Amino acid sequence: MQADKPGRGLRPILSAHRPEACQPGFMKTRGLLEGLRFTDTFFPSGGYAFSSGLEAAVQGGAVKDSDQLARYVEDLLRGGMSRREALAVKLANRAGAAGTLDPAIDVDRELDATKLGRDSRLASRQMGRQVMKVAADQLRGKTVLTEYRDAVEAGKAPGHLAVSFGLTLGACGWNGEETAAAFLYQTAVGFVSAAMRLTPLGQREGQRVLGEWLPLIDRISREVGTETPMSSWSPIQDIYAMRHGRLEWRLFRS
């Protein structure tokens, strides 16, 4: 009997066991890679320049070690971001996947109205606009991204980070849960990165804290529904974010 040539019959077997073939909602590899660029700390959003009020909290004595950092960020994720940024991300993701602009602009304006602190509001806008400039320029064929960028530049939409992020990853094929989880994880990484410059927190301890936040991030990304009214309750974090501009010395812009 003639032996099979190397690789003969292998392609059908691999095709039958590809995750995409078994799971209709599974993210395609190309879409995964396109979206990952926007979640990476290498991406030029300017996020490294902002601490989201953490610097004021450190100087005010509210965050001195990793345990206090964990509580501070967990409280913000639960009360301040779960029904505001996470919700905006999911709604924008849906608009990006459908290629419809108006829902993204609506949620962008609503998010802008809920951000009480001027510095936080401006930081979110600046980072969001950086994301959209790159997305509209490099993800060719995604007309909703170009339309949104033009709307932001024309002053018809604020251009907040959560909306730009959700719209972009939706256009890349990520679903709402995946996108919300990636956004919240990126936010958590930003807090750890800032804390490493503001406190004695080291890399290994930072990784431990990040690992402890993962179940909370997973739960929020799954449980926040797109029919939920937008709201936020993180008064301590909001107050520190507003105090940041009056600090005598600062490493961060917010």
Whether residue 44 is predicted with pLDDT greater than 90 in this model: the reply is no
> For 183-193, what is the mean pLDDT?
95
Helices and strands: H and E segment counts in the chain:
13, 0
Q: Which residue type, as a one-letter code, is found at position 45?
A: S
In-domain check, residue 6 = no
For residue 254, tell me if it sits in a domain.
no
Place of tokens 């806008």: 125
Of the two residues 176 and 21, the one the predictor is more confident about is 176
Q: Please state, in angstroms and rounded to a whole number, the distance separating the CA atoms of residues 139 and 165.
A: 13
Contact between 188 and 202 (Cβ < 8 Å): no
Q: How many domains does the chain have?
A: 1
Residue 47 domain flag: no
Domain of 213?
A: 54-240
Dihedral sign computed on CA atoms, order 21, 25, 28, 32: negative
**CATH code assigned at 158:** 1.10.4190.10
Which residue type does 155 have? G
Is residue 251, in this structure, part of any structural domain at all? no
Look at residue 172 and tell me if it is in a domain. Answer: yes
Measure the CA–CA gap between 251 and 133, rounded to whole angstroms.
26
> What pLDDT score does 247 carry?
87
Model confidence at 22: pLDDT above 70 = no
The answer to whether residue 18 scores a pLDDT higher than 60 is: no
Query: What mean pLDDT value characterizes the chain?
Result: 88
- Quickly list H helices, 76-202: 85-98, 102-114, 118-138, 143-153, 161-172, 176-198
pLDDT of residue 46: 67
pLDDT band per the 50, 70, 90 thresholds, residue 43: confident
- pLDDT band, residue 100 (cuts 50/70/90): very high
Average pLDDT over residues 110-115: 95
- Is the residue at 13 inside a domain? no
Q: For the chain, report the end-to-end CA distance as a whole number of angstroms.
A: 74
Residue 31 lies in a domain: no
